[in-house]
Amino acid sequence: MFVLSKCFFCFLFFVGIAPDVFGDIVFMLDKSAALGQGHIAVMIGCEAFGWHYVSINGTAGGSKPWGVNINADTGIFIIDTSGAKISNVRRAVRRACEINPLEKHNYILFRRLRASRSEDSEILSAIKKTASSVLYGIIGPGSSCIDVAQAAFSKLVKIRKLDKNGSVPGQSDLIPKNWFRKIDNRVKIVNRRSENRRNIIKFYHKTNKRGRIYKVSIKKLTGRKPSLHEIIADFGFFIQPSKKFSAP
């Protein structure tokens, strides 16, 4: 029965009847990088379609704060060593650590925000542009790893119309590990601006102190019973309703 339900929803999606689904944003932190200040990167996608990885990796000169942006990952599709798509988000994060042989990382923490596929497309386009900056700089001209995370979050906030006259919290942070640590509070701030509960930003998974991922019930997160789409997602079919049908 579950397999048939899964096939049915796949059919609805591909014929254009199902809501705008299949998309999320994953922020990943290598907290030991950059002399303990951390390195942050972003994956865009979902289990159904795979993941695109975006990261600004510096100047190829250690922790040099300014220079030419070298060896950036500008939307590389996450595949395993045999060339197959990686669907599982935890495996994708682990693979992202070494998919660029010139820039290896140790992502042990990650947070996942729920989004739609159309939102993912806009966000991926925005952060690829950020990561393609000619210059690298932690402040001033150029971009650094935190600019990719900030651009992803800012784009989602603005798509949902949760910005305040163009203002998005966290855009002035310079330290990646601090920006990552404040994600929960930042999401709460922008959600308070929502005039429509359908537009609020939600986490898909929570991370415990050891960096392990566990699911948090929809009821605990929102104080309400889960929708049909959310129940289906919890059973492994990762589907998110669009604004037209329910809260994202």
| 79-129 per-position pLDDT tens digit | 999 999 999 999 999 999 999 999 999 999 999 999 999 999 999 999 999
**Model confidence at 162: pLDDT above 60:** yes
Could you tell me the sign of the dihedral formed by the alpha carbons of 43, 55, 103, 176, in that order?
A: negative
Three-state SS annotation for 133-190: CCEEECCCCCECHHHHHHHHHHHHHHHCCCCECCECCCCCCCCHHHHHHCHHHHHHHH
Q: What is the pLDDT of residue 209?
A: 43
Confidence of residue 147 (pLDDT cuts 50, 70, 90): very high
Question: Any residues with CB less than 8 A from the CB of 210 and at least 6 apart, and which?
Answer: none
Q: What is the pLDDT of residue 63?
A: 65
Q: Which residues pair with 30 in a beta bridge?
A: 39
Q: CB of 91 within 8 A of CB of 78?
A: no
**Model confidence at 165: pLDDT above 70:** yes
> Which residue has 């991370």 as its token pair?
207
Q: CB of 140 within 8 A of CB of 66?
A: yes
Token duo for residue 188 = 């709460």
What single DSSP character describes residue 201?
-
What gap in Å lies between CA 171 and CA 180, rounded to an integer? Answer: 12
- Mutual orientation of helices 145-159 and 183-191 as an angle, nearest 10°? 20
Question: Any residues with CB less than 8 A from the CB of 43 and at least 6 apart, and which?
Answer: 25, 26, 28, 51, 52, 53, 54, 78, 89, 92, 93, 96
**Model confidence at 16: pLDDT above 80:** no
Q: What is the pLDDT of residue 193?
A: 87
Find, among 247, 231, 232, 244, the residue nearest to 20 by Cα.
244
Confidence of residue 237 (pLDDT cuts 50, 70, 90): very low
